[in-house]
Amino acid sequence: MNRKILILVGIFLTIPMWLSGQSNTPIIGYDRVAWGASIEEVRKHYPNIREVNIPDFFAHSNSLGVRSFIQSQVNIGGINSRKFYFFQDKLYRVDVNYGRGFIGEMLEKYNELEYSMGEALHNSLVFVYGRFDSEVDNSPGRGTRTFIRNYHRNLTIKLEIGVFSPPDTRFRMDSPRSGRPLGNVTASSGKFEIAIVFYENPTVIRQIEEERLRQQRNRIQL
């Protein structure tokens, strides 16, 4: 089997496709939790999440009624960390951060590596949610792009990919499981080594923006 296909299959297993009953549609939310789930419900599936502070200069801050919980050192399918956001204690957004761990898993399984994390994640998300609606080049000439898919009125998926290492740089890769050396990996131009997938409820995003504007108006009146 072509190594690119193997890599695509491997990363596809990390893409949430929680099925409702007998339907073939993904959950309107993330993985095993639907939008609107409470903190307690999310903690049942991800017991090691911990709350982190969100400063006011962020668009989604604690002062707007937003709480954030992070699951760090996930080490499953190349996922480095996941962050869960709650508005009025109801889940509305999840950020999933991928990193080098996925490269190590594929190298350990298949020894040789022909690899693009961005391509694999992009194709896997298309398989589950359909083609992306738009693409934004965040930094022309530097390889950082964002793909946007408006899958449902209450679910938007954004994939942000970029080059982590300079072109043609070699680095040592250790096993994510045993820690033993696996050898060197070459990061060539166009090979994406870091990626973030954002799962969002745009309806709640608008509500938070309205709250932010309301608070701004109140401060001006004072």
SS3 129: helix
- Beta carbons of 103 and 120 less than 8 angstroms apart: no
State pLDDT tens for residues 115-155: 566 777 888 889 889 999 999 886 655 567 899 999 999 99
Q: What is the pLDDT of residue 103?
A: 52
Nearest to residue 33, comparing CAs of 71, 90, 87? 90
Nearest to residue 80, comparing CAs of 55, 105, 56? 105
Distance CA 21, CA 129 (A): 18
Q: How many helical (H) and strand (E) elements, i.e. helices and strands, does the chain have?
A: 5, 12
Q: How far is CA 43 from CA 51, 93, 129, 137, 221, in A?
A: 11, 15, 26, 35, 40
User: How is residue 126 written in tokens?
Assistant: 């298309």
What mean pLDDT, rounded, does the chain reach?
A: 75
Domain map (residue ranges) of the chain: 3-221
State pLDDT tens for residues 172-204: 555 555 556 555 555 444 444 678 999 999 999
